[in-house]
A and B are shown apart, each in its own frame.
Chain A
Amino acid sequence: MVTDSNVDEKTAPSDNKPVSASSGTPSPTGRPQRNLPGTKDEGLYQWPQRPLESIESAFALREYLQSLIRQDPHNVDLIIALPTGQDEHAWLYEHLCQICLELNYLIVHLEPECTPEVCPEMRAEEWMYYCATHPTPRECCAIDYLTHTLDGASALLNNVKFFPSRICVPEGSVKNFQSIARRLYRIFAHAYFHHRDIFDAFEAETSLYDRFLKLSRSRKLITDKLIIIPSLNNDDDSVATGARQIMSRQERTSCAQRAKLFNGTLVNI
């Protein structure tokens, strides 16, 4: 088995899938990488991180990504950095899946507070969004919008027509990343502007928004114009002050038009 040190130098020219016939032999690390029933909390996922090249599975990228996040969720730059020799879009795909997965937990935290009574409309600061998961875009209340958007993203990301393989993403499906990211962003935005304490607590635990933002920016998934959450620092005070600098760059009318426009394009996908 190769050690971590010399792995980075190893060039793996486009061997996205190092999977050969993997028989039932346990991993070379000795201990099988699985959580056996009865494992205690402190023992969950406690296996040494494997270099990506040595992961012999169809889910190598996902395993690698998850192990990075488990190791340190706040080391965002390392997490979003493309591993050597990997397909950019496949990596992006795994990231989006992972973000959707973790956004579930944000919604769990939002659910008790973000009720239809408290948030009858899906708003983020001055924006209002229509829910595009319906045949005709609809004004769902915020929590419905959040769950619908997440369910819709999960439907799209798990659609074998658009994403038939985890190795590479068809050219035509790449554009879906942008629409998914744009909508996921609204979940963060709503949480930030309307349920700030939950957002902060969640962010302190997972750095999910930070990861999402950096990923989206570096991969040009979201245009800067759409970013309405003021930049966050790890320092809580500056975050609080930043929150007061509410940016109102868009008129409400144009905002509604834009929302409809998105929906139109999304429905056609």
Chain B
Amino acid sequence: MHQFQSFTPQTPTVAEYAFPSVLQFLQSEWRRFERDRNEWDIEKAEMKARIAFLEGEKRGVDNTKLDLMKRVKMLEFALRQERSKYLEGNQGAAKSTAGSPASTPQVNNNSNGMSGDVMTNGINNNKALNRMSTYSAFGNNMSQVSPTSATSLDPAGRAKSREFLRICLQEISYLTSSVPQSVSMAMPPVHNRLSRHDSDKRAAGPNGMRGAGSSKNRHSDFFPANVHPVSVPPPLPRSNSVPIATLQTIARNKAAGTQQAQESNGNDTDVTAHPEDDDAEQRTLNQREITRQLSKEAKSIAIAATLDADSTQKNDIPKQETPEVAQRTIDEEEEGPTGLEAFQREEAITVVHSPVSAEQWRADLQKAGQQIGQKSKGKKVEGNPEEEAQLSKDVQDKFNISPERLNKMVKEWDRDKSKQDVGPVKTPVNKRKSKDGAVPDELASLSISETDVIENGGNVKEGESNADEPVRWRPKVTLRRHFDTVRSIAFHPTHKSLLSGSEDGTMKYWNLEASLKESKRTLNGDVEPIHTYRGHTKAITAVAISADQDKCFSASMDSTVRSWKLVPMNKEAFSRLDPEIPMSSFIGHTDTVWDIRLFPLSISSSQLLASISADGALKIWDTETKGSPLRSSWGYNGLEPSEWTEPTQAYTSGLAKLPVPTGLDFCPTDLKKMVVSYSNSVIKLFDIETGKEILAFKSNDTYDGTAKTQINKIVCHPTMPVVVSGHEDRFIRFFDINSGTCSFSMLAHLDSVSTLDIDPAGLVLCSGGHDASVRLWDIASSTRSCLQEFTAHRRKSDEGVTTVKYHPTLPGLMATGGADSIVKVYMRS
């Protein structure tokens, strides 16, 4: 460029305006301008980025400021509150009549909860609060008197209140942190939250909430998987005002050993009662009780304060009086789970028409969860699983990596990326290729060895990224009584018992109560089934338990579905045959019945059962009716009105030529619908009542026309409108029920995926494959990382694990069945 600049002034003297040189000059100039413009653009972009950064910083600072302001206001308020307490207490102790008339109501109403000297002690121990005491002369007043009044407290009580104040402060700071307001409403009590943070966040969810659940309120304990862990509500006691009850439990814990009769009363009765007994003397006598009430009220104040955090906080006293009441109304309005649970308790029948408020709540939570998920995802491209699959395939071909290994790599990389949020795309993968030498070793450890691999099964798991993951499933009981492949297992909804159906044509019912209690692993111990159900003339393909009816069901290759009486848990192994046990058989299918599913709820006197068969039909049976049990039946194209009454011969024979159902599930999120997968990999959504096809999922993109890509199993997520499908081509795919599009796809096993189950909390997906391994996937996270992998069963004729099942209500219990004729029961350590 300098050449040309120096060249330009010479042009007049030379006076040679040769066309090429002019052209050259113009071109060079143009290029220069272009370059400059590029530079400006870059600069501009940089500036923009800088601006954005600074804006973000400012926003962050603003948030902190807001937080601090909230906290200051809260502390101000607490101080004011406590001062009035002190004043009142002073009055009471001195029996002074000098109390100002204006302050009397305030005193009366608040004194019951607050004891001035207790609070003072707490404050003196807290530097942060000390700063506030300069606000008014009251502070001096207080500090003068506090030593004397403090002596009236026994040391134990003081320690207790100090402890409580500490927790209270934690609570306040927690509440004022950036958690969304609506979510913070459902905040777990302190001790719960702490413990939850300590333990694994994924595991704590199901642990906490499934305590007293029954099969019926399986839907009440739904928590969208994507939501931040802290939003998980506490274990809900069976009471309408749940948060208050939990507050009471806290208070009870803090005032250990001072249980009194009044304690069991609701908080609002306390509020109404105290204006009557405003005798201060009695209150000073009942100091323990006051301490307890203090804890209650301070707690509710803390919550109320967050609610009003945006307001000016000039809290007039009447408003303070009824924090509980306000809180309760808000609870009822906003807290979905509570509302739903209460709803279900009162009229379980109508639950079918899922209450709107709960849906909204769910939608909100999902939205929140998605936002969080997107944040953590960073720049990760979402919604193009094909591209990912293609990429992975390419890499796989290029470096001859096993699919499993590749899958691991990709997942690790995803995790890394989400941590760093930036980074070149290709490098991590390329780096990892150098580790290829380790691949055969890992493969070897994954494959089936002759000896029972259970012993070291836990070691095979993908440990590196989950080092801080204490939760691990360990085999606890092994059930060996079947003579052939175990096809299906079902847990009793509440008891520790299990039903297993096998290809040997028998179904066995096992009582696990005793064997699970034993501290020692009873892997080789002999657990005798309490009953062996015989009746099918061919292999059993599926089993189910209905606890409400005290029945169990089995489907078989002999084209029938049978119902049986569930034998009592205390039945002896070799007792007399009960002729009542076989109840009825549902005959109608003309080919192997491949799966059955009980409707999640039993409605008064009817319990629906859906069955799919290789004859192409899906049939819905009413298992309680006295008359004909068949409710409806439809094939690939759904139910046509003409077919409703009398399925013609032509219809049934035509049905067999259409794609055949391979899997089914009811949608827990919308109980009017069910999903069915077909042998051409199409998943369809049907209306249960009408049999009409609502939606055909775009799930057959990967179908190549043979059974090698068919769907083997589908399950619905318990709380979200998501269907998970396990494919013969080793993939697990996630579909959105509303749109029918594939939202996630992952290569999950070394061989075809044979079975799936989602834990009742909806956080972990368990998959079993014909590669004999069981894998647990963290579906709450966007990366869907593998939490644990273990070899569960040995292969027989190209089959490995055939069924996995979580216990529907008891956390930490799971079972698998495999081609090696064995059922294994696992407990979470």
Give chain B residues whose Cβ lies under 8 Å from the Cβ of A115. Answer: 579
A63 an interface residue at 8 Å Cβ cutoff? yes
Contacting pair B481 A155 (CB below 8 A): yes
**Given known contacts A32-B752, A57-B797, A111-B535, A154 and B481 CB-to-CB distance under 8 angstroms:** yes
A37 an interface residue at 8 Å Cβ cutoff? yes
Contact indicator per residue, chain A 59-103, by CB within 8 Å of chain B (1) or not (0):
100110000000000000000000000000000000001101100
Contacting pair A159 B713 (CB below 8 A): no
Q: How far is the CA of A60 from the CA of B249 in the complex (A)?
A: 60
Give chain B residues whose Cβ lies under 8 Å from the Cβ of A24. Answer: 447, 730, 749-751, 769-771
Contacting pair B480 A158 (CB below 8 A): yes
Contacting pair A34 B797 (CB below 8 A): yes
B795 partner, pick from A36, A57, A157, beta carbons under 8 A: A57
Contacting pair B574 A148 (CB below 8 A): yes
Among A19, A63, A154: residue with most chain B CB under 10 A: A154
Contacting pair B450 A144 (CB below 8 A): no
CB distance from A243 to the nearest CB of B (A): 25
**Given known contacts A17-B450, A38-B679, A59 and B712 CB-to-CB distance under 8 angstroms:** no
B660 partner, pick from A17, A40, A104, A134, beta carbons under 8 A: A40
Give chain B residues whose Cβ lies under 8 Å from the Cβ of A151. Answer: 481, 529, 532, 573-574
In the complex, chain A residues 234-254 whose Cβ is within 8 Å of any chain B Cβ: none
**Given known contacts A36-B707, A134-B574, A21 and B534 CB-to-CB distance under 8 angstroms:** no
B661 partner, pick from A34, A38, A105, A108, beta carbons under 8 A: A38
Contacting pair B481 A37 (CB below 8 A): no
In the complex, chain B residues 570-623 whose Cβ is within 8 Å of any chain A Cβ: 573-574, 576-577, 579, 591-592, 594-595, 614-615
**Given known contacts A57-B794, A104-B506, A34 and B450 CB-to-CB distance under 8 angstroms:** no
Interface size range on B against A = 35 or more
| A40 nearest in chain B by CB position | B614
Contact indicator per residue, chain B 431-458, by CB within 8 Å of chain A (1) or not (0):
0000000000001101111100000000
In the complex, chain A residues 1-54 whose Cβ is within 8 Å of any chain B Cβ: 17, 19, 21-27, 32-34, 36-41, 44
Give chain A residues whose Cβ lies under 8 Å from the Cβ of B662. Answer: 36-38
Among A58, A105, A108, A109: residue with most chain B CB under 10 A: A58
CB distance from A12 to the nearest CB of B (A): 16
Contacting pair B592 A39 (CB below 8 A): yes
Contacting pair B771 A41 (CB below 8 A): no
In the complex, chain A residues 103-139 whose Cβ is within 8 Å of any chain B Cβ: 104-105, 107-109, 111, 115-116, 131, 133-134
Contacting pair A21 B443 (CB below 8 A): yes
Give chain B residues whose Cβ lies under 8 Å from the Cβ of A269. Answer: none
Q: How far is the CA of A35 from the CA of B614 in the complex (A)?
A: 12
A176 an interface residue at 8 Å Cβ cutoff? no
Q: How far is the CA of A101 from the CA of B662 in the complex (A)?
A: 27
Contacting pair A111 B534 (CB below 8 A): yes
Contacting pair B447 A36 (CB below 8 A): no
Q: How far is the CA of A159 from the CA of B527 in the complex (A)?
A: 10
**Given known contacts A40-B660, A101-B483, A58 and B534 CB-to-CB distance under 8 angstroms:** no
A207 an interface residue at 8 Å Cβ cutoff? no
**Given known contacts A21-B449, A24-B751, A38-B660, A143 and B577 CB-to-CB distance under 8 angstroms:** yes
**Given known contacts A19-B450, A21-B444, A21-B447, A101 and B799 CB-to-CB distance under 8 angstroms:** no
Give chain A residues whose Cβ lies under 8 Å from the Cβ of B769. Answer: 24
CB distance from A161 to the nearest CB of B (A): 8
B412 an interface residue at 8 Å Cβ cutoff? no
B163 an interface residue at 8 Å Cβ cutoff? no
Contact indicator per residue, chain B 722-734, by CB within 8 Å of chain A (1) or not (0):
0000001010000
A179 an interface residue at 8 Å Cβ cutoff? no
Contacting pair B796 A59 (CB below 8 A): yes
A147 an interface residue at 8 Å Cβ cutoff? yes
Among A24, A40, A97: residue with most chain B CB under 10 A: A24
B816 an interface residue at 8 Å Cβ cutoff? no
Contacting pair A26 B577 (CB below 8 A): no
Give chain A residues whose Cβ lies under 8 Å from the Cβ of B526. Answer: 155, 159
Contacting pair A22 B505 (CB below 8 A): no
Contacting pair B480 A34 (CB below 8 A): no
In the complex, chain B residues 655-696 whose Cβ is within 8 Å of any chain A Cβ: 656, 660-663, 678-679
B83 an interface residue at 8 Å Cβ cutoff? no
Contacting pair B591 A40 (CB below 8 A): yes
**Given known contacts A21-B447, A100-B483, A147-B532, A59 and B770 CB-to-CB distance under 8 angstroms:** no
B334 an interface residue at 8 Å Cβ cutoff? no
Contacting pair B710 A108 (CB below 8 A): no
15 further interface pairs, Cβ-Cβ under 8 Å (given A19-B448, A101-B504, A104-B506): A21-B448, A23-B447, A24-B771, A36-B710, A37-B712, A38-B678, A38-B710, A39-B592, A40-B592, A57-B797, A59-B819, A62-B796, A101-B505, A109-B537, A111-B534
A-B contact pairs, 20 of them (CB 8 A): A19-B448, A21-B443, A22-B795, A24-B749, A24-B770, A25-B751, A26-B798, A34-B798, A37-B662, A41-B592, A58-B796, A59-B794, A59-B795, A104-B504, A104-B534, A105-B537, A115-B579, A116-B576, A116-B579, A158-B821
B contact residues vs A (CB 8 Å cutoff):
402, 443-444, 446-450, 480-484, 504-506, 524, 526, 528-529, 532, 534-537, 557, 559, 573-574, 576-577, 579, 591-592, 594-595, 614-615, 656, 660-663, 678-679, 707, 710, 712-713, 728, 730, 749-752, 769-771, 794-799, 819-821
Listed from nearest, the 9 A-B pairs whose CB atoms lie closest are A24-B750, A24-B751, A24-B771, A38-B662, A101-B483, A59-B796, A21-B447, A37-B662, A158-B480
